[in-house]
Amino acid sequence: MCVPTAKAQIDDISAEEELQRMESKQSESFSGFVRRVNKEYDDFRRRANKEYASFMEQVWPEIKLSEPVRLPKEEDVKPQPYKDDGKPLEDFAIKIEVVPVIKQDLPQPQPIAPIKPDESDKDYTTLPYYGTQMKVRLGKINSFRLKGNEEKHIADGFRKLTGKDCDNLIFDCLKLRKDHKLCDWAYYKLLQTVSESAFAKGSNEAVLMLGVLLNQSGYDIRFGKDPDNGELHLLICTDAYIPGAFSSGRNNKTYLILDGYKKNRLQVFERSYPKEQFLQLGVSQLPLLAQNLSEQRTIAIKEYKLSADVAMNKNLINFFNECPNFWTDNDFMTRWAYYANTPVSPEISETLYPQLRAIISNIPEVQAAGMLLTWLQFGLTYEFDNTVWGTDRAFFAEETLFYPFCDCEDRAILYSHLVRDLLGLDVVLVFYPGHLATAVNFKATQPRGDYFMLNGKRFTIADPTLEGGSIGMTMPGMDKTKAKVILLKKDL
């Protein structure tokens, strides 16, 4: 009885050991496969960089740059309080022109091949980024210097900055982009911080470093050189126009110079790089930044029992302050859609929204939308941008709640968030010459007043700047024949 049992146990052990040997062999085979694939990827990237640098040594042709676009000059329309004439609201159908929905949320660029870091290097440098500590491995980059500003010198610099010594830095930057949810613009600002921490701001080394980091991260850039003094500048392919930035239109692409370069000519290295992709300027996701709350602000309308406390993350406010004023598709109207479609911060969604929900819960949606409208009409102080900032400037929702003054576009953008997020209703922005309001598609009762039809849906005007004005009222003096509707959703 014991002998067969012992033999069975021996057979079982042998089978188990054989299985372990097979699994170990397969694991070794797979590991070898991974190593081979990684090497092929790495070799491909090295070859691409080598070829790119060799073309860089050739003389860069001089091109003429396009003059910067300017902010359209608009008439400042002073808001007027509602004057009750005792007449009931009557329906008035507004004829509208529709601004197509903007393109957003495209996948972010990626390197042409995965970048393998050297895990043995633990020498991190901590950099301040909008009040948030960012750690990267700079390696020996600080000691790098260009030997001159001729094409061959820049090519040698590109070779140096794309060598194995810099792989850790590129890997760390890409990891920070993912971990901190950095949109393209936020990532650009991070790379700018990295470059200017390693080299003097505006130096050819800093510009080259920034260009290399963008290029190796998958972004479409071109290196340019001032033909008079050899200073380097970057041309960055974007989906937008920024006022004041010289640009170059090449192969149906728009390249912007974002460093304040003021001349209309530049020597440009125009060679493309594999799989390059343009930099999106819209803030499709908010960066995860350390919290630094502002003083609490109470926005209250006593006679309506509307009151809510707000405190914004000043680090995020500082980030917003450096976001460019831009528009796409050669249509100035699109600029407001980007602000309105930027997601709100946790300070709004997790702190402000619960207070407002408690106020508008269990009341009809039209009445709730009207209460939110009143809260903005009387709770915020109106002032023209030119008076406060010296130029036209739109606000993200957080900025409207943070700064002491705002104007019509800021209120319309914030109101569009409140109605969508708290009431779940579709909203569009409505532009009149010199003024911006909103319109809401109510699901239940349709209020009377000014409205328009959009793909079979009725949208009723709601103006958060018309003090005392209810849903359905348009600001007096607006030219309704020139109204334009700015879509915020693709399915409207």
Say if residue 441 is exposed, middle or buried (CB neighbours under 10 Å; 0-12, 13-18, 19+): middle
pLDDT score at 28: 57
Q: Mean pLDDT, to the nearest integer, of 169-187?
A: 98
Q: Mean pLDDT, to the nearest integer, of 28-51?
A: 75
Could you tell me if 306 and 300 are in contact, meaning their C-beta atoms sit under 8 angstroms apart?
A: yes
Q: Which residues contact 310 (CB under 8 A, 6 or more apart)?
A: 296, 297, 298, 299, 347, 348, 351, 352, 401
Say if residue 343 is exposed, middle or buried (CB neighbours under 10 Å; 0-12, 13-18, 19+): middle
Distance CA 108, CA 176 (A): 14
Distance CA 101, CA 490 (A): 6
Look up residue 410 and give its two tokens.
Answer: 């800021």
- Mind listing the pLDDT tens digit for each residue in 61-72? 999 999 998 888
| Report field, pTM of the whole predicted structure over 0.85 | yes
Band (pLDDT 50/70/90 cuts) for residue 12 is very low
Query: Residue 393 — φ and ψ, nearest 5°?
Result: -155, 130
Band (pLDDT 50/70/90 cuts) for residue 414 is very high
- Mind listing the pLDDT tens digit for each residue in 154-165? 999 999 999 998
Look up residue 480 and give its two tokens.
Answer: 């309704």
Distance CA 95, CA 360 (A): 32
Q: Give the rounded percent of residues in the chain with a pLDDT score beyond 70.
A: 92
Band (pLDDT 50/70/90 cuts) for residue 2 is very low
Band (pLDDT 50/70/90 cuts) for residue 17 is low
- Mind listing the pLDDT tens digit for each residue in 328-371? 988 889 999 999 999 999 999 999 999 999 999 999 999 999 99
Chain-wide mean pLDDT for the chain? 91
CATH architecture of 92-104+288-486: Roll (3.10)
The pLDDT of residue 8 is above 70: no
For β-strands 97-99 and 125-129, DSSP reports them as unpaired
* Chain centroid, CA 319 distance in Å: 10
Could you tell me if 51 and 260 are in contact, meaning their C-beta atoms sit under 8 angstroms apart?
A: no
Distance CA 434, CA 310 (A): 29
pLDDT score at 112: 93
The segment(s) of the chain belonging to CATH 3.10.620 are 92-104+288-486
SS (H, E, C) the chain: CHHHHHHHHHHHHHHHHHHHHHHHHHHHHHHHHHHHHHHHHHHHHHHHHHHHHHHHCCCCCEEECECCCCCCCCCCCCCCCCCCCCCCCCCEECCCEEECCCCCCCCCCCCCCCCCCCCCCCCCEEEEECCEEEEECCCCHHHCCCCCCCHHHHHHHHHHHCCHHHHHHHHHHHHHHHHCCCCHHHHHHHHHHHHHHHCCCCCHHHHHHHHHHHHHCCECEEEEECCCCCCEEEEEEECCECCCCCEEEECCEEEECCCCCCCCEEEEECCCCCCCECECCCCCCCCCCCCCECCCEEEEEHHHCEEEEECCEHHHHHHHHCCCCCECCCCCCHHHHHHHHCCCCHHHHHHHHHHHHHHHCCCCHHHHHHHHHHHHHHHCEECCHHHHCCCCCCCCHHHHHHCCEECHHHHHHHHHHHHHHHHCCEEEEEEECCEEEEEEECCCCCCCCEEEEECCEEEEEECCCCCCCCCCCCCCCCCHHHCEEECCCCCC
Q: What is the distance in angstroms between the CA of the first residue and the CA of the last residue of the chain?
A: 81
The pLDDT of residue 202 is above 80: yes
pLDDT score at 189: 98
Residue 425 CA neighbour count, 13 Å, CB half: 27
pLDDT score at 6: 39
pLDDT score at 223: 98
Cβ-based neighbour number of residue 116 at 10 Å: 15
**Mean pLDDT lowest for which of 58-62, 87-91, 145-149, 260-264?**
87-91
Band (pLDDT 50/70/90 cuts) for residue 37 is low
